[in-house]
Chain A
Amino acid sequence: MLRLEAMSCGYGGMRAVEALDLDVNAGEIVALVGSNGAGKSSTLMATAGHVALQGGRILFDGADISRASPMARVAAGIALSPEGRRLFRDLSVRENLIVGGYVRDAAHQPGNMDTVLDLFPRLKERFESLAGTLSGGEQQMVAIGRALMSEPRLVLIDEVSLGLMPKMVDVCYRAIQALKARGLAVLLVEQSTARAFAVADRVVVLESGRAVWRGSAAEARGNSAVIDAYLGVAKVEGAA
């Protein structure tokens, strides 16, 4: 579904990600882990079209979308729940969801909203509350829900658990697994390796913009060196 081919991206003269190869398939969760500045968020942002590509290609369903606008990528079926969530703080939960589905026909809106509310029943109680007044966990639910309103086939989720209470993280991860069960592809960035390894099918470890380890979540769980690499304690042998 998604294929990054030697994808490089960055900001101005600075290179954030260097020649990254990555596949994400339907019904699969791939986790990107790594230390701060490793290029995880930049990979998501480049895939969504918010960071300029400096090399390589991004293919979605076989089509080259490297030069497509962020809006065109949303229309194609790629949705982003960005770092820091970037909700429309002065808009209610309902209104945030409406904007999330703006690229689709208005007739789809009620059905998509029901899907989001089934996934996050808590948002029903906060439906008319301003997004800026919600707790961190509720904001994360809105960010993921807003992304789902565009009827994506690939969801990019940045920093799922950052700053959230464990109970809220559980809710978010249950929802992410439900997305997988529906056949959606999920590419997520996660600081907590335990969480990432528990939910993901495959794991890619980034260091200084390069993939230094990749394998199944089961392999990652059994390989403490991955965690060391993630923490920046030691490099993993046999780096990809």
Chain B
Amino acid sequence: MLHVELTIQGLINGSMYALMAVGLTLVYGLLRILHVAHAGLYTLGAYIAVLIANATGSLALGAAVAIPVVGLAGMIVYRLLYEPILHRPPYVALIASIGLFIVMEESYRLIFGPYGETFNAPYLAERVSVGPIGAKAAEVAMVAGAIVLLGVLAFLSKRTRFGIAWRATVTDPAMARAFGVDTIAVRYANFFIASALAASAAVLVAVLNNLVEPTMGSVPSYKTLAIIVLGGLGNVAGTLVAALALGVIEAFGTIYIGHLLDRDAIAFLFLVLVLMIRPQGLFAAR
């Protein structure tokens, strides 16, 4: 029974990692940018949700505003930060991204204070049980949210004309453009979707922990980078599997080797071990 519970706990954490990391790998796949500031947008989503939920008493309204607003913020980050330096070597965008992430974290600290915000009334705190297995409603929402959002993303990318054009742009932007695909629109859509996914993850994590703080993006920032390397940079399906695998390995590792290593250290030990065996990641990079 312990193993079942650990697996479920791992899948819950893995779902959050998946929502974050899929957005990150979408950006990498299209523009070859390691978008560290993604985690800053994640935190922004949590703050918008908690402030609106506390002001109006509606978490749904907070999420409904946070997700598209963060999507738009992602588009603005692309326009103002990345687009002017796309022709530069990739490390220039990486440095700019790290810089923006630091600025965002410090801004949250200055504006909202260092101690964080909590929801006036905790949401989804009740437990849901199926037979002997139980979980918080927020944890169930995390998994359900990941399944629905990533399902919608899969539908968009596989079954709509724009989604197919988007994937064509990832494969060969010049040819896609030649066939009439508006590759600039694809880039903006890419940032909107990636950032909206990060905001969705942030709202769910904020509800789960009942805490929103300036540094809540720090751990996800580097852990999701590890996940997209594991999944094969730019490989969405690989990233999904890597996110869930990391969640499960962390859950088991915390129990079995937690006395030796911290949870985050377990994640990076896993990354190091995988990369020693498969330098290209668990799946081929795109």
Contact = CB atoms under 8 A, between A and B. Distances in A.
Interface of A: 48-50, 70-71, 74-75, 80, 82, 86, 88-91, 95-96, 98-100, 102-103, 106, 146, 150
A80 B177 CA distance: 13
A168 B179 CA distance: 25
Given A91-B168, A95-B167, A150 B161 contact: no
A226 B10 CA distance: 71
The number of chain B residues touching the other chain, given as a range, is: 10 to 19
A70 B165 CA distance: 16
B170 to A, nearest CB: 8
B272 interface: no
Contacts of B174: 50
A146 B176 CA distance: 12
6 contacts: A48-B178, A88-B168, A99-B176, A102-B165, A102-B180, A150-B180
A74 B167 contact: no
Given A95-B164, A106-B161, A88 B171 contact: yes
A146 to B, nearest CB: 8
Contact of A71 (B161, B168, B177, B286): B177
Interface in B131-163: 161
Nearest to B167: A91
A45 B278 CA distance: 39
A86 B172 contact: yes
A103 to B, nearest CB: 3
A91 B171 contact: yes
Contacts of B72: none
B175 interface: yes
A99 B286 contact: no
A175 B180 CA distance: 24
B179 A103 contact: yes
B100 interface: no
A72 to B, nearest CB: 9
B165 A99 contact: yes
Contacts of A49: 178
B181 interface: yes
B181 A102 contact: yes
Contacts of B179: 71, 74, 99-100, 102-103, 146, 150
Contacts of A82: 175
Given A88-B168, A95-B167, A150-B179, 19 more contacts: A48-B178, A49-B178, A71-B178, A90-B167, A90-B170, A90-B171, A90-B286, A91-B171, A96-B168, A98-B164, A99-B164, A99-B165, A99-B168, A99-B179, A102-B161, A102-B165, A102-B180, A106-B161, A150-B180
Nearest to A82: B175
Nearest to B286: A90
B167, B168, B170 — most chain A CB neighbours (10 Å): B168
B245 to A, nearest CB: 22
Contacts of B171: 88-91
B52 to A, nearest CB: 38
A99 B181 contact: yes
